[in-house]
Amino acid sequence: LTNLIKRTCSMKAFFIFLFSLLASVVSMAQNVKFDIEADLHRLDTVVANSHKYDAQKMHDINYIKRSTGDFVTPTERYNFYKRLYDEYMKFDSDSAKHYASMCQKVASRTNMHNYEVAAILDRAYIFITCGELIDAQRILNTISTPIDSLPDDVRMKYAITMLEYRIRLDLKSFWENKYGDKEACLAVWNKYNRYLPDDMWQKHYYESSLTDHDVLKKLQADLANTQRPSIKAAMLYVSIARQYKKRGADEKLYLHYLILSAINDVKCSNREASSLIFIVNSPHICAGTERAFNYAMLCTENAKSYKDVGRSFDIVKAHAKITRAYQKRLEYNIMLCIGCMALLVLAILAVVLLYRNVVRKRRAQAELLSQIETANVSLEESVKKEQQALEKLRHSNALLRDEIAYHNSNFINVYQLVTKYIADVQAFKKSVFNLITSGKIDKARSELKSQTNAENYLQNFFVHFDKAFLASHPDFVERFNQLLKPECAIVTPADDRLTPELRIYALVSMGITDSVSIAEFLHYSPQTIYNYRLRVRHCACIPEKNFADAVAQMYADE
């Protein structure tokens, strides 16, 4: 027992010493004076070679595509699409969405439910990183399986997706450390962090992003075991920078880690990254420099390639800052030119008074002529820009004329239908009147009971309705068939005609969802409408209860 107590005391003393040593190392690390200019020079070189990293990324992806043979099992096909999704995830959002959809289709066709949920989460994650949060929420709503019923790996993916969604929804400013709804962020963290292992680096990353917890040591430990360059290293660096920012550390300290994060992002072709945007907007970067311009342009190219609408505001803010700096520099140069011109005028006067300085006068005149030529070039560029603006205006006017012509055509078609109906009714009335006048009462009664004319009017109405609807929604049939099983796709009798089923759901897509209103509009019985809708729902590739809502929301976001 005595020996055990001694060993326990020795271990306690050792851990106290180790903790003190670690604290001193961290304290020393915070007091290290980083050479930010040297870091920025490294970043300048990496940014200048960004196209080479992107080309290498595409080469690696194409190699994966070429190296894959025939698929034997659905799992092999799924894994191939998943591998391409992982490669595109931070590089090309459209391609990532495509391969996530392919994974979902493979899993859905083969009833691999857990794989299908994972693919849906992958799709939602890409929409989240692009800032398309409404679409992401719509995709997440299609998951009906509770998270606790999923396998561990899918649970982790589910949790990471929801934590990322909250970050994109509520984080307002990295530099000010403000959150849109701090309580909501904490609630989401408390709800989903239990699905992430304690030693998982993403758990420390999201804890740093969504809470005020001090996780600097955990992040540094994760970074020590991370390969560089890598996207993981970039994410850990930016989280470490955020931790130092929360601590109120010297600006150069967290800027150093932001620069390291940006270097890893560019080398890994991470177009979804934000570190470079933070650096451009930081007070340490002079907005009027070529460096700031190059950083902002790379951010713009990444956002354009990745279609990242979520960070567009930060990029616009950076460009606005750079533009203002250039404007100030231009104003300074103008004032400097005015001063020079004043000196030149005085020099010319002095030359006039002093004939012996004629040579100097000629040089001054030559310099003045050069400035005038520069001004002429600038004027020509302004004229070209004005011409381009006029061309854009003409194009906009042409589009407006086409829009007006389209509405006029619809207007005329509707009133032509009404006019023809009135003319037919008048002719019918005249015919019946003539029959009655001539004493052919039975034939007149037969004409009044006949449904032929009404059916003809109704078919004529359907023809006009189909043409008008397809003119406004030319892709309706294609979108609608995407909601059906492939073998149940509806084929139209003609390019400008709809089937009764398509006509019913065309009204649903325009907001007329109850069967009674649809029956009144199309002159069918409510039971007929119900039968049509029931038959189509049985062919849906999505849950039947969600089918009508999916059609109603088909054009809601446009």
Residue with tokens 């907005």: 287
**pLDDT at 175 > cutoff 50:** no
Q: Taking a C-beta distance cutoff of 8 angstroms, is the pair 126, 98 a contact? A: no
Structural domain of 361: 323-391
Which one has a higher pLDDT value, 463 or 67? 463
Residue 444 lies in a domain: no
Residue 509 lies in a domain: yes
Lowest mean pLDDT among 89-93, 170-174, 247-251: 170-174
Given 391, 411, 442, the domain boundary residue is 391
Residue 539 lies in a domain: yes
262-316 confidence digits (pLDDT tens): 999 999 999 988 888 888 888 777 766 888 888 889 988 888 888 877 666 667 6
Residue 252's pLDDT band, with cuts at 50, 70 and 90, is confident
Q: pLDDT at position 69, please? A: 60
Q: pLDDT at position 311, please? A: 66
Which one has a higher pLDDT value, 235 or 280? 235
Chain-centre distance for alpha carbon 344: 55
Q: pLDDT at position 201, please? A: 95
Residue 302 lies in a domain: no
Residue 82 lies in a domain: no
Residue 347 lies in a domain: yes
Residue 178: strand pairing partners: 173
Measured CA to CA, the distance from residue 388 to residue 187 in angstroms comes to: 52
Residue 9's pLDDT band, with cuts at 50, 70 and 90, is very low
Mean pLDDT of 176-185: 66
How many domains does the structure of the chain reveal?
2
395-413 confidence digits (pLDDT tens): 877 876 766 665 656 655 6
Which one has a higher pLDDT value, 167 or 226? 226
Q: pLDDT at position 216, please? A: 93
Which one has a higher pLDDT value, 216 or 171? 216
Measured CA to CA, the distance from residue 363 to residue 366 in angstroms comes to: 5
Given 354, 370, 391, the domain boundary residue is 391
Residue 173: strand pairing partners: 178
Q: pLDDT at position 185, please? A: 87
Rg of the chain in Å (alpha carbons): 35
Measured CA to CA, the distance from residue 69 to residue 65 in angstroms comes to: 9
Q: pLDDT at position 472, please? A: 86
Residue 498 lies in a domain: yes
**pLDDT at 16 > cutoff 60:** no
Three-state SS letters, 154-221: HHHHHHHHHHHHHHHHHEEECCCCEECCHHHHHHHHHHHHHHCCCCCHHHHHHHHHHCCCCCHHHHHH
> Are 464 and 545 part of one and the same domain?
yes
Helix pair angle (2-31, 216-224), 10° resolution: 90
Measured CA to CA, the distance from residue 390 to residue 383 in angstroms comes to: 11
**pLDDT at 450 > cutoff 70:** no
- 267 burial class (0-12, 13-18, 19+ CB within 10 angstroms)? buried
> Are 462 and 544 part of one and the same domain?
yes
The rounded mean pLDDT for the chain is 83
Residue 406 token pair: 């389209």
Residue 179's pLDDT band, with cuts at 50, 70 and 90, is very low
Mean pLDDT of 526-542: 92
Which one has a higher pLDDT value, 317 or 304? 304
Residue 345's pLDDT band, with cuts at 50, 70 and 90, is confident
**pLDDT at 176 > cutoff 70:** no
Q: Of the candidates 160, 174, 87, which has an alpha carbon nearest to the alpha carbon of residue 125?
A: 160
Residue 223 lies in a domain: no
Would strands 171-173 and 178-179 be described as parallel, antiparallel, or unpaired?
Answer: antiparallel
Residue 140's pLDDT band, with cuts at 50, 70 and 90, is very high
Given 341, 367, 391, the domain boundary residue is 391
Q: Of the candidates 260, 271, 246, which has an alpha carbon nearest to the alpha carbon of residue 34?
A: 260
| Non-local CB neighbours of 337 within 8 Å, separated by 6+ positions | 371
